Amino acid sequence: MFHVGKLEDLDIGEAIKLDQFNPPIAIIRGESGEVYAIDDTCTHAKASFCDGFVEGDTVECPLHMSVFCLKTGVPDNPPAIKAVNVYDVEIRDGEIYVEVDR
């Protein structure tokens, strides 16, 4: 498991970009308070989800307004039609960890 940081440092609707992975991974805290990890690159226009808009437990691409489910990575409207990868997240003792194969 990769250590991301403290949960208290990630507010609702905020994102952290992990550039050390290929593709980069976005750690996003949805409005429910859940923390999600998804590929940070939109499958349509290659925009960063860290620059997107969080609503509920979804993120909207900042370029073309496709909305992706943070839990499944599946887009719910065109132009994006391909899902992004999602990664398991654990919160232990107030710290965020993500399961990533290197």
The confidence score (pLDDT) of residue 64 equals 87
Average pLDDT of the chain, as a whole number: 94
DSSP labels, 13-29: T-EEEETTSSS-EEEEE
78/60: higher pLDDT? 60
- pLDDT value at residue 80: 83
User: pLDDT tens for residues 47-67?
Assistant: 999 999 999 999 999 998 899
Q: Which residues contact 80 (CB under 8 A, 6 or more apart)?
A: 42, 43, 44, 45, 61, 64, 66, 68
- Tokens coding 69: 């489910």
Using the predicted structure, report yes or no on whether residue 9 has a pLDDT greater than 90.
Answer: yes
- pLDDT at residue number 102: 58
